[in-house]
């Protein structure tokens, strides 16, 4: 039994906007980071929040994507490219536009892998983010 029912098949997921992948990816990644911190530290909630920001801010996500890009398959690189180039009318307030585009691409990849139920690959990539 899955905690959250992911009903869409890969064809349906491919029809979604890459910004929708990023929307889901943002939540999946943040939950992963928060859970990882709770499992591996004894920090109190405020300190957990401060520590998690180091991983979830746009610059950090952009840097992570750049560091793992060579380990991605061609299909994953295509997902990243689609998410990075998606037209987003939201202007970042705490990030430069290039970092914001790369963080959206990173979140898009995470969301795509999650929605297409590629859980083993998703775990591999998430583990690379905290090493």
Asked if the structure places residue 97 within a domain, the reply is yes
Could you tell me if residue 1 is inside a domain? no
The answer to whether 110 and 28 have CB atoms below 8 angstroms apart is yes
Q: How many domains does the chain have?
A: 1
Active-site option among 5, 12, 26, 78:
26
Q: How many CB atoms lie within 10 A of CB 114?
A: 22
* Residue 61 maps to a domain: yes
The reported pLDDT for the residue numbered 87 is 81
Q: Is residue 3 part of a domain?
A: no
Residue 26 annotated in active site: yes
Whether 2 maps to a domain, the answer reads no
Q: Cβ–Cβ contacts within 10 Å for residue 8, how many?
A: 14
DSSP labels, the chain: --SS-----HHHHHHS-HHHHHHHHHHHHHHHHHHHHHHH----HHHHHHHHHHHHSHHHHHHHHHHHGGGS-HHHHHHHHHHHTS---PPPSSS-HHHHHHHHHHHHHHHHHHHTT-HHHHHHHHHHH--
Whether this prediction's pTM lies above 0.95 is answered by no
53 lies in a domain?
Answer: yes
Domain of residue 54, residue span = 10-129
CA nearest neighbour of 108 among 70, 131, 130, 76? 76
Q: How far is CA 72 from the centre of its chain?
A: 14
Mean pLDDT across the chain: 92
| 32-46: pLDDT as tens digits | 999 999 999 999 999
User: What confidence tens digit (pLDDT) does each residue in 76-111 have?
Assistant: 999 999 999 988 767 677 778 889 999 999 999 999
Specify the CATH number for the domain of residue 64: 1.10.1520.10
Angle at 28 between CA 23 and CA 29, to 5 degrees: 100
pLDDT (0 to 100) of residue 4: 78
Q: Is residue 41 part of a domain?
A: yes
Q: Is residue 51 part of a domain?
A: yes
């Amino acid at each position: 039994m899955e905690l959250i029912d992911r009903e869409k098949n890969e064809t349906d997921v491919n029809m979604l906007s890459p910004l929708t992948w990023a929307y889901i990816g943002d939540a999946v990644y943040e939950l992963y980071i928060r859970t990882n911190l709770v499992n591996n530290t004894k920090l109190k909630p405020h300190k957990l929040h401060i520590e998690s920001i180091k991983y979830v801010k746009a610059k950090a996500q952009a840097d992570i994507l750049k560091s793992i890009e060579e380990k991605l398959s061609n299909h994953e690189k295509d997902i990243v490219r689609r998410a990075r180039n998606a037209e987003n009318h939201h202007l970042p307030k705490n990030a430069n536009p290039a970092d914001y585009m790369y963080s959206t691409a990173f979140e898009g990849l995470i969301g795509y892998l999650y929605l297409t139920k590629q859980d083993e690959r998703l775990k591999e990539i998430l583990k690379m983010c905290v090493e």
